[in-house]
Each structure stands twice: as structure tokens, then as C-alpha cells.
Structure 1
Amino acid sequence: MQTVEYTQEIIKELQRTVDLINDVEVERLVDGILEAKKVFVAGAGRSGFMAKSFAMRMMHVGLDPYVVGETVTPNLEEGDIFIVGSGSGETKSLVSMTEKAKKIGATVAAVTISPNSTIATLADITIQVPAQMKSGESSENETIQPMGSLFEQSLLLLYDAVILRFMEKKGLDSQTMYGRHANLE
């Protein structure tokens, strides 16, 4: 297969995956962000990179998001939202964070492949991204890609779609966002 053919297959996989995401739960996430005092995001590995990208875009639309684990992240409180992306929904450090967020009284949103996972069952909002698990175990949504790539790519697309919906609800456009872009680069 040529590189362009791989790219075309990846795009087909992404289309198939995002078509299966429940828009009602995504809308609940958008509303949860709008209603929250502070927004916290978390993920491990490549899912963590997607969370950081999401936090950056939230900053661009005027929110004050925080990435769990960064040195400038404040304490989570009741009335905040904690958004965790985890394909398996079982990553130990993320399970621990989710349990603590629940105990504190924050709204918990899980984005995961596994709606019956520990993190998903603790969550107030659960968005299933029906991608193949990185272990390669059989699923209805097979992929040619290695490990968790399909989930991670879908996660980035979902987070960008949430930003677009947020922008629509707040009457924002890309031009407004440029004013908040980093200027010390």
C-alpha cells in the first residue's frame, strides 16, 4: 500500500468511528464546560497530548482550563468539571484522579472506548469512542493502525468539535481566538 492509501484508510476509519459517537453525551459535555467554575483535563500518554491540545483550544475561546499534573494547576473543587480521556478507562493513575474528583463533588466526564470501565462508571457524562483497544483485542471497529491511534485521533477530533460547538453557543469566531494566541513564541 502507498502512503496516500494508508492516509485514505485512516480517514475512513475516523469517519466510521465519529459517526458512532453519541451526540447527546457530547452536548452534555459542552453544557458541563459552560456551567463549570473551572475546567480540568487529564489523560495518559498520547491521550494526554490530546487533552493538552483541548486545553489550549479552551484557552483560545476564553476559558481557564487546567491540565492535571502541570505545576500551575490549582485545586479541583465542587462545581468544577474534570474531563478524562482514557481508551481503556482503567489507567490506574486516571482511575485514582477520577475517584478523587467524584469525592470532591466535581462533574466527571469520561471519553473512553469502554463504557463499562471503572472511569466510565464513575462519570456523570460518558462519551464512548468506539475504537479498537490498543491491546488489539477484537472489536466491531477494527483498524489498520497500531495500538491506540484510532482512539487518540478520534479524541482530538471530538475535542475540536466540542470547541466548535462551544464557539457556536458563545457566538465566537476564529478571529476572536487569535487575540488569545501565544505571543512569546
Structure 2
Amino acid sequence: MKTTNYAVEIVNELHRSVEQIADSDAETFADIIIQSDKVFVAGAGRSGLIGRAFAMRLMHVGINAYVVGDTITPGIDKDDVLIIGTGSGETRSLIPMAQKAKSLGASVTAITITPESTIGSLADAVVKLPGLPKDQASGDHSTIQPMASLFEQTLLIFYEAIILRLMDKTGLDSSRMYGRHANLE
């Protein structure tokens, strides 16, 4: 198969994937972000990289957003939310973060393939994304892509859609957001 054919199939998979996200879950997720004092984003591997991009856009929207593990990240409090992006919901380094956030009175939101997972069970809110965990070769959502690529790409698109929803809810546009863009580059 030619490279462009692969690209077309990936886009088709993503189209089918995002159509399966529950609008009510997405709306609840956007509201949780708006109602929180601070937003903490966590994930491991590629999901973590996508989470970093999301935290950056949240900052552009004017949300106090932090990436767990960065040196400038403050402590989490009861009026804050921890957002964890995890396909399996069983990532060993992320489970203690969810437990700690809960013990401090913060809310936890999981964006995952598996709401019944350990992290999904700890979460106050869950957004289910379609896809396959990296250790599964097949399942309900077939994909030509390796490992958890479909989940990770869907996670990025979902986070971008949430940014657009937050812009809509707060009356922001790109030109106003640009004022918060890094200028020491």
C-alpha cells in the first residue's frame, strides 16, 4: 500500500473513532475544567506528550494548567482537577497520582478506552474514547495502526475539540489567545 493510502485509512479510522465519543461526557469534561481552580494533566508515553500539548492550549485559553512532574507545577488542592489520559487505565505510574489527588480532595477525570479500569474506577468523571490498548492486537475497534496509535490520535483530536468548546463557552478567539503565546522563542 502507498503511504498516501495509509494516511487516508488513518483519517478514516479517526473519523469513525471521534463519532463514538459521547457528547454529554465531553460537555461534562469542559464544564469540569471551567469550574476548577487549577487543572493538572498527566499521562505516560505518547499520551503524556499529547497531555502536555493540551495543557499548553489550556494556558492559551487562560486556564491555570500544569503538567504533573514539571518543576513549576504547584500542589493540587480540593478545588482542582487532575486529568489523566490513559488508554488502559492501568498505567502503574499514574494510579498513585489519581489516589493522591483523591486523598487531597481534588477531582479526577480519566480519558480512557477502559472506564472499568483502576484509574477509571478512581475517577469522578470518565470520558471513554475508542481504540485499542497498546498490548492488544485486536478488539472492538479494528485499526491498521500499531499499538495504541488510534487512541493517542483520538485523544489529541478530543483535546483540541475541548479547547474549541472552551473558547466557545468563554468567548475567546485565536487572536485573543495569541496574547498568551510564548514570546521568547
Q: TM-score range by the shorter chain?
A: over 0.9
Q: Deviations over 1:28-65 (max 9, x none)?
A: 11000110011100000000001000000011111120
Please state if 1:110 is matched with 2:110: yes
Q: Gaps (5+ residues) in structure 1?
A: none
Please state if 1:144 is matched with 2:155: no
Deviates more, 1:134-143 or 1:103-112: 134-143
RMSD of aligned residue pairs (Cα, Å): 0.8
What is the rounded CA distance, in whole Å, between the counterparts of 2:29 and 2:84 in structure 1?
11
Residue in 2 that maps onto 1:39: 39
* Amino acid of the structure 1 residue aligned with 2:53: S
What is the rounded CA distance, in whole Å, between the counterparts of 2:175 and 2:4 in structure 1?
33
Q: Deviations over 1:78-130 (max 9, x none)?
A: 01011000000000110110011111111110000111100001111101111
Percent same amino acid at aligned positions? Answer: 55
Residue in 1 that maps onto 2:101: 101
Q: Aligned-pair distance for 1:17?
A: 0.8
* Amino acid of the structure 2 residue aligned with 1:24: S
Residue in 2 that maps onto 1:20: 20
Q: Gaps (5+ residues) in structure 2?
A: none
What is the rounded CA distance, in whole Å, between the counterparts of 2:96 and 2:142 in structure 1?
30
TM alignment of 1:70-89, pairs within 5 A: 70-89=70-89
What is the rounded CA distance, in whole Å, between the counterparts of 1:62 and 1:37 in structure 2?
11
TM alignment of 1:156-167, pairs within 5 A: 156-167=156-167
Give the aligned length.
185
What is the rounded CA distance, in whole Å, between the counterparts of 1:81 and 1:115 in structure 2?
18
* Amino acid of the structure 1 residue aligned with 2:145: Q
Please state if 1:173 is matched with 2:176: no
SS in 2 for 1:93: coil
SS in 2 for 1:145: coil
Q: Aligned-pair distance for 1:138?
A: 2.5
TM-score for the superposition, normalised by structure 2: 0.98
Deviates more, 1:65-74 or 1:173-182: 173-182
What is the rounded CA distance, in whole Å, between the counterparts of 1:47 and 1:169 in structure 2?
26
Q: Aligned-pair distance for 1:133?
A: 1.6
